[in-house]
Amino acid sequence: MNAITKFSTALRLLKHSRLEKRHPDARSLIGLIGKVESPVGAGGAVFVRGELWPAHADAPIASGEKVRVIALNRDGLFLVVERLAS
């Protein structure tokens, strides 16, 4: 293997590993507990498993409240959450 091929392969592997760390399989987040960072309703953000995720909920949820991830939207672009029962 020449130097260019080795470099190209190493770069491809590095890029793939960085993407996996940044965007874990979002389906594995279903059922996990998170904390609301910005008010959730039609939009907002929650902190789950060490990362900030865009989120939606059926009812408004204030910052600081704990939520459970119940689903992903169809495209997996945001989490659907519900307020944890007290």
Residue 60 lies in a domain: yes
pLDDT band at 28 (very low <50, low <70, confident <90, very high): confident
Judge whether residue 8 has pLDDT over 70. Answer: no
State phi, psi for 40 to the nearest 5 degrees.
-105, 140
pLDDT at site 17: 46
Nearest to 48, CA basis, from 65, 70, 68: 68
pLDDT band at 27 (very low <50, low <70, confident <90, very high): confident
Residue 3 lies in a domain: no
pLDDT at site 18: 42
Judge whether residue 60 has pLDDT over 60. Answer: yes
How many domains, the chain?
1
Residue 14 lies in a domain: no
Cα angle 42, 83, 27 (rounded to 5 degrees) comes to: 75
